[in-house]
Amino acid sequence: MALKQNDAFHDPQIARHLAERITRTSRRPIRLMEVCGTHTVSIFRSGIRSLLPETIALLSGPGCPVCVTAQKEIDAFIALAREPETIVATFGDLIRVPGSGSSLQREMADGADVRIVYSTFDAVNLARENPDKRVVFLGVGFETTAPTVAAAILAAHQQKLDNFSVVSAHKTVPPALEALADGEINIDGFLLPGHVSVIIGPFSRPIGCRAWWPVSNRPTCSRVSPCWWTRWNPANRPWRTLTPGRSHPPATPRQWQS
């Protein structure tokens, strides 16, 4: 019976084959940085570093958007939660992040109306269901989150929900990558999350786009590692299967429109 796609990403035989392929093709030392924090967790959990040859070093990059959210932004979120007649809507990963003297979780315990939502449109629904309260959605994320927040703003405008607002603390990935690439830590290539790459388009440095499953990390390494002696950017081939332009056409204009 044929393997399902997700099963293939966990198949040990495929993983061993990819590890052997990387060892055969790796010709000189290179340093690759995984940008996504979920990738870092996957690499540690699956022991990928122990399977790679000594010529390939993996570095952990910027991580998740919550990790790089400034302290003053967290404090601003907490201050909003303390406002009367206010519902703060947020994704669950922000709840326990500490501010200077509190957290959203602590404010919830003290009586603040903080709601965990699973979609930006859940926050829009809260605004419609609570017309006598102000609903503030905490917009934290990278390029993949921004279009969904923009779509929620447009939906609230169309529904004439004057009590809905967003505090935007979004971050963009390319400036961070450029700073890292031009820095003193000698990065030869990046391993980028595929969903972000679909939005932002190709990058000037050699990159590989991957999912979060363990096996998906290894073929990405096998694509990126040879590029330094073949002058081939591995993003060129898989990019055409993701989206035809430099960025995702439906997503980017919607961000600017909002």
**Which pLDDT value is given to residue 212?**
40
Longest dimension (CA), the chain: 65
Sign of the CA dihedral running 174, 175, 181, 185:
negative
- In 82-144, alpha helices (H): 104-109, 120-129
Residue 32, token pair as written in the block: 């690759």
Per the prediction, the chain carries an average pLDDT of: 76
Sign of the CA dihedral running 74, 194, 236, 180:
positive
Once rounded to an integer, what is the mean pLDDT over residues 18-22? Answer: 80
Report the top-level CATH class of 27-65+174-242. alpha beta
Q: Where are the domains of the chain?
A: 27-65+174-242, 71-170
Round the CA-based radius of gyration of the chain to a whole number and report it.
21
How large a percentage of the chain has pLDDT more than 70? 71
**Which pLDDT value is given to residue 155?**
95
CATH number for region 71-170: 3.40.50.11740
pLDDT at 85 over 90: yes
Residues 6+ apart with CB under 8 A from 167: 76, 77, 80, 136, 137, 138, 139
pLDDT at 117 over 90: yes
Q: What does pTM read for this prediction? A: 0.69
Query: Higher model confidence: residue 228 or residue 248?
Result: 248
**60-81 tens-digit pLDDT:** 877 777 778 889 999 999 999 9
